[in-house]
Amino acid sequence: MLYRLSYRLEPDLYTPARYSFRVKRNAVVLLSGGLDSATVLAMAVQAGFEVHALTIAYGQRHEVELRAAERVAQSWRVAHRLFQIPLSDFGGSALTAEIEVPKDREEAEMEAQIPVTYVPARNTIMLSIALGYAEVLGANDIFVGVNAVDYSGYPDCRPEFITAFEALANLATKSGVEGERMTIHAPLISLTKPQIIERGLELGVDYALTHSCYDPDDAGLACGRCDSCLIRRRAFASLHRVDPALAHLIA
C-alpha cells in the first residue's frame, strides 16, 4: 500500500533507536506554536532528524501563536522559518475574518458540526508549502501535528486526508517521481489530548511556551473559553495538572 501508516504511534516510534542515520536526515516540521505542533517537533528531534521548523503566518487573528512558535523553536535549538500567505484575504473563518469565535461550548456541541474556526483548505495549503520547502532542503519527511480525536472536527485532520496528501506528494514532486519517497508523519492523529500531553512531557516539552487560544486578549493571554482553550484545559485537568497557558485565569 502506498501509505505506510506513519501516523500510528507505537511505544518506540520516533526514538533514536528507530533511526540510525550516519548523517542526520532533514525533516520539515509544521510548527504553529500550539500544543500539538510543539509535541510533534520534540518527537522529530528525538527521532534524530535535523529539524527545519516552518511556521505559516496566514493572517490569523491569534498572531500571538507566531511568537509562541519562535519560542518553541528556540527552546529546541532548531532552524525556524516564517512563511506568509494571507488567507485572511479570503476570510471564511472565525480565525481569519470578523466572525465571532464560539465560547463556553460543551463537548457534544463541539462535535456536532465542523466549527466556524475551520479555515478553508488550511492544512492542504500548509502541507503544500512544507512540501515545496522539503524539496529545496532535500528532505523526504514532513511532520504535522494534526489530530482526529479531539473535538475540533476539522476535515483536514483525518487519516484519510494524510493518506491522500502523501499519495499526492509522491506523484507531484521530482523527489517522489525519482524514487525518493516523501513521507507525511502525523504521529498524534490517533491520540487523545491527554496522551499527547503525557508524551510531550516525557520528551521535555515546555507547554508554557505554547499558545492555542483562538481569541486572546490584547496582551496575548488565552481567553480560557474558546474550543481550543477548553480542550487544553480539560486535558490537563484529566492529568491533575494546570495548563500553564491558562494559569493567569486561576484566582
What does each of the 251 residues of the chain score in pLDDT, given as a tens digit? Answer: 233 334 433 334 444 334 444 468 999 999 999 999 999 999 999 999 999 999 999 999 878 999 999 999 999 999 999 999 999 999 999 999 999 999 999 988 888 889 999 999 999 999 999 999 999 999 999 999 999 987 567 999 999 999 999 999 999 999 999 989 999 999 999 999 999 999 999 999 999 999 999 999 999 999 999 999 999 999 999 999 999 999 988 85
| Residue 185 domain-assigned (yes or no) | yes
Tell me how many domains the chain contains.
1
Cell digits of residue 122: 488550511
15 within domain boundaries: no
The reported pTM is 0.90
Domain around 103: 23-249
Task: At 45, list the grid cell.
Answer: 528531534
| Per-position b or e across 103-140, b if 16+ CB within 10 A of its CB | eebeeeebeeeebebbbeebbebbbbbbbebbbeeebb
Q: How far apart are CA 120 and CA 203, in angstroms?
A: 32
Please report whether residue 6 resides in a domain. no
Asked whether residue 1 is domain-assigned, the answer is: no
Which pLDDT score is estimated for 71? 98
Closest C-alpha among 177, 246, 226, 204 to residue 39: 204
Half-sphere exposure of 239 (CA within 13 A, CB side): 18
Q: Enter the DSSP assignment of 98.
A: S
Looking only at the bridges linking them, the beta strands covering 26-30 and 50-57 are parallel
pLDDT of residue 105: 93
136, part of any domain: yes
The Cα angle at residue 167 between residues 44 and 159, in degrees rounded to 5: 65
How high is the pLDDT of residue 101? 95
Tell me if 7 is assigned to some domain: no
Helix (H, G, I), strand (E, B) or coil at 175: helix
Residue 40 falls within a domain, yes or no?
yes
Specify the amino acid at residue 77: R
**CA distance linking residue 21 with residue 38, whole number of Å:** 23
- The vertex-60 CA angle with 75 and 95, nearest 5°, equals 125
Residue 200 lies in a domain: yes
* Cell, residue 47: 527521532
- Can you give the CATH number for the domain in which 184 is found? 3.40.50.620
